[in-house]
Amino acid sequence: MTVDRLRELRAEIDRLDDEMLSLLNRRAQAVIEVGKLKSERNLRFYVPEREVEILRRISGANPGPFPTEALKAIYREIISASLSLEKPLSVAFLGPKATFTQLACLKHFGESADYVPQINVSEVFQAVERGVADFGVVPIENSSEGIVSNTLDMFVDHNLLICGEILVEVAHDLLNVTGDIDHVKKVYSHPHAIAQCRGWLERNLRAIPVFDVESTARAAELAADDPSAAAIAGEAAAKIYGLKSIRKRIQDNTNNFTRFIIIGKIAPEVTGNDKTSILFAARDEVGALHLMLEPFAKYNVNLTKIESRPVKTKAWEYLFFLDMEGHISAEPVAKAVDELRTRAQYLKILGSYPRAI
């Protein structure tokens, strides 16, 4: 009886797989038609707010038992493959491969996009500005280490917009060729990764020298070539460079996330769950920052982040980076920003975009 029931269930799974295959191809055909219409009318081929709408609708409609996070991952790949039927997306990112930035890219744009690694944040901005890539992905802040100041600096000199954000859990493993901690005579990693694992390193590898390198992927590459070396890197780096895990998740903060932003030339429309980011400089006067922030309280706009950065051209003057809830087209946000503009010495709207889901 058990064997017969197992056979029936497998036959049912095969039938459902065939049905899903047929539906996926029907969906792909509809996407091709959409692509033709966009081309004829010269419309944007990639619409991030539409992607968010699909993911939110599917997640909200999921009755289970299929996990919602797994469902979102599957649909991101479906959307990625569908977009490639219209036009493959080109995405520049802070490389090399196997870094958390590439993981963020894959999480948002899927396997079907064309990824172009760049050597630094400036090159990512330039690639998008020159049209070498449709979009760029760069880190903006980490829950443990704070803001990525170099990314903020780029917005002063480049006229690109934030089109979206991606949240990635950062889990660091200690990797080497053998998987044996006794073989470790030195450790390589990116300075941020080292800082995030400092406590574990002091408890477990106090006498072992730790060296900064330009990326966790470079650390994995060095460890792959040297049996006496270990790397602090992610699971993806272990797979690409053929390394074994000595210890998993050695970061000191288990709730460690990095926020990445998607930069481009498009301005997403309202989705109903959006954020707006701006840069501004306050005038040099008593109570200046209070005056700058007052309009947001006046119009009941919730601020989710404020960060200061020194102005490079003038000593002791600062730029402020501000995140707020809501889209710039929404009346409260628009009024608050307009009032701030009259008070600030400088103001730049970096974009309104869907919140990460």
Over residues 61-112, the pLDDT tens digits come to 999 899 998 999 899 899 888 888 877 789 999 877 878 888 899 889 988 8
Domain at 89-170+257-264: CATH architecture: 3-Layer(aba) Sandwich (3.40)
What's the confidence (pLDDT) of residue 315? 52
The 3-class SS string of 44-84 reads CCCCHHHHHHHHHHHHHHCCCCCCHHHHHHHHHHHHHHHHH
∠ CA(44), CA(50), CA(52), 5° rounding? Answer: 135
Start-end ranges of CATH 1.20.59.10 in the chain? 2-85
What's the confidence (pLDDT) of residue 231? 95
Percent of the chain with pLDDT over 70: 97
Asked if residue 58 has pLDDT above 80, the reply is: yes
C-alpha 335/C-alpha 342 separation (Å) is 11
Asked if residue 188 has pLDDT above 50, the reply is: yes
**pLDDT, tens digit, for every residue of 134-187?**
999 999 987 766 777 778 888 888 999 999 999 988 889 999 999 999 999 999
What's the confidence (pLDDT) of residue 316? 47
Q: What is the CA radius of gyration of the chain?
A: 23
Start-end ranges of CATH 3.30.70.260 in the chain? 274-354
> Which residues in 257-337 belong to E strands, given as ranges?
257-264, 274-281, 303-310, 318-325
**pLDDT, tens digit, for every residue of 269-328?**
999 899 999 999 887 777 788 888 999 999 999 999 998 877 666 654 778 899 999 999
C-alpha 148/C-alpha 151 separation (Å) is 6
Start-end ranges of CATH 3.40.190.10 in the chain? 89-170+257-264, 173-247
* Contacts for 65 with CB less than 8 Å, ≥ 6 apart: none
C-alpha 125/C-alpha 137 separation (Å) is 9
Asked if residue 211 has pLDDT above 60, the reply is: yes
Mean per-residue pLDDT over the chain, rounded: 89
Q: Residue with structure tokens 């574990």?
A: 200
The dotted CATH code for 2-85 is 1.20.59.10
What's the confidence (pLDDT) of residue 312? 65
What's the confidence (pLDDT) of residue 314? 61
Domain at 274-354: CATH architecture: 2-Layer Sandwich (3.30)
What's the confidence (pLDDT) of residue 253? 83
Domain at 173-247: CATH architecture: 3-Layer(aba) Sandwich (3.40)
Angle, in degrees to the nearest 10, between helices 48-61 and 68-86:
150
**pLDDT, tens digit, for every residue of 11-52?**
999 999 999 999 999 998 998 888 888 878 877 778 888 888
Q: What is the pTM of this model?
A: 0.82
C-alpha 219/C-alpha 241 separation (Å) is 10
What's the confidence (pLDDT) of residue 255? 80
* Contacts for 142 with CB less than 8 Å, ≥ 6 apart: 148, 170, 192, 196, 256, 257, 258, 259
Q: Which two tokens stand for residue 79?
A: 């959307």
Which amino acid, one-letter code, is at 331?
E
Which residues are annotated as catalytic? Answer: 258, 260
Closest CA to 157 of 283, 312, 275, 292: 312
Closest CA to 143 of 107, 188, 192: 192
Strand-pair partners of 116: 92
E strand or H helix at 169, and its extent?
strand 161-169
